[in-house]
Structure 1
């Protein structure tokens, strides 16, 4: 019979969430289950995820209504977050090695994300909407934060090679898809209207053309540990 374990991601500012686990399953498989169950871990590599038993220094489990919960969610290293990350769950351990009888009113696992390497910190993932004629397609790119417009244009051209012959990459017009309120484009309805060339939608989202001297890091900033796709969506068009 599966058991329900409550988890909290340190520093992600997201509420606790529950996962179901087989007692005989490995901690390694539990990591994948937890990653897939938390929006805060969506773009985090599983190799950076560390799991710890959520027991306090007095040996008691951390309650779901514990007063220090908000501080743990913020990831404040001056609090019990550091001291509670002592009993780490090793990848080859079994779930039953650490959790026999669990109380649904407690948090059982603290999830900590290792700091990314320097190489990882210098990369960011962009979601692009490539529009030509009356068609559109999505392109996902991993680019350096130090890249400028011309490197981004070349990366998009290479990604689109099997879909649309771009030709000279410098002909690509790139726009950071933020509206007047500073919100990123994540409306599927607006994306469809962009592809169709609806003037009011085009005026809303294609108003900020990317400066050739700007870097990717200047335009698309995100948290080094946690990020979500809709913060890095951008739109670009290509004109003949």
Structure 2
């Protein structure tokens, strides 16, 4: 089915001259990652194998992606699913597709990118942001860890910076993310940055891009090697009943684990 003719529940997708714009569109859920988002974006990227030479991933003006959909996890816990229905492999493979697929991927970030949102950011070839964007890993606040994010983030910024973001749980500014290499360019007008990148990228041939991406993936197989331990660590933290109770309590009350009862 043509990219332009399919209906999407969690995305807004348009194709313009071999550039596919994919916007995460779950404004009522903070652009959180649920199963449908993973399924739909995987389908969109599969269509881009033939249709696009550049993929631009965007979010909403105030939030790029807030991470896992805690409400979906809480609903599954209520339905009796012991681990909240967490099956991390499809999401990991989606990020791997962004990193290694036969097109240039650009994350265009405005607002907040948090937790799994950092997975989308760090998986892309090029990261552009406005100067008010923030980047954070909040997982340890709930006893979790960014298990599947870290192979992609380490590949971008190195272990020490990824470790710092994980342990502090504090978001970093666009300027600091630019200094660390998580962001390639930031500006008050990030749309201008994107237009400048696309002006050059549109001149490249898809065959050349696909060959280069295939070669680059062969030079660095860290994402494939890291997949098994990343998935195992994700399953471990989401199988911990105490962690899942913290998530469910946050959804019900909006209170963090260290906050007392209202």
The TM-score range, normalised by the shorter chain, is under 0.3
TM-score (norm 1): 0.21
- Which structure has more relative contact order (CA 8 Å, sep 6+)? It is 1
Q: What's the TM-score once normalised by structure 2's chain length?
A: 0.19
Q: Which of the two has greater helix per residue? A: 2
Please identify which structure carries the higher strand content.
Answer: 1
